[in-house]
Structure 1
C-alpha cells in the first residue's frame, strides 16, 4: 500500500505497508493495525513492474488526473504473479494498481 500523500515527495515509500486480503467472515478487529479499504469506485490497472517501485503508481495517478478523475486515498500495488511469470520478455512481477477515485 503506497501512501498517496507521499508518492510525489522525496521519499515515496514513506509509510508504505503490506496488504492482506482476508476471507469473508474474518473479523478484522482480531488484528492490530488493520485499516479497511473504503467502499467506492476504484480505478484499476494491470502492469508489469515491481510493487515497491513507486514510478508505476505515480504514472497511474497522472493517468487518472489526465482523465478527470480524482484519487481519493492510497494506492494499492498488488502483486498478482511474481517470479512464476518471468520469461524472456518480462523479468518483473505482474501487478495490479488500485485506488478509490471520484468521477
Structure 2
C-alpha cells in the first residue's frame, strides 16, 4: 500500500496552475500554503512533461506503465526462481539410484 499523500490533489493542481499560468516564482507560490519548494518544483516539471512541453522526463502515463512492467518482471523472476528450485529438486530425485524391495 502506498504512503498517504502529504498534500491534497486540489492543492497540487491549484499551485501548479498558479506557477504555470500566472508565472509566479515557485518559491512564492509554495510559501503561501506551506508546500515544500522542491515538491512544487517536481509537480510543475511533471505537469510540463504531461503536457508535452518537456521531453527530458517521462509522462505520468509512461511512469505508470513502467511501474507495471517492473512489477511484472519481478513476478516473472520470482516464478523463475521457484521453477529452478523445483527443477533441481526433481533432478535430484531422478538421479537417485533405485533399489528393489527385498522379498
Could you say whether these structures have the same fold, taking a TM-score greater than 0.5 normalized by the shorter chain as the test?
Answer: no
State the TM-score, normalizing by the size of structure 2.
0.23
Structure with the bigger percentage of strand: 1
**Greater helix content:** 2
Higher relative contact order (CA 8 A, sep 6+): 1
Larger radius of gyration: 2
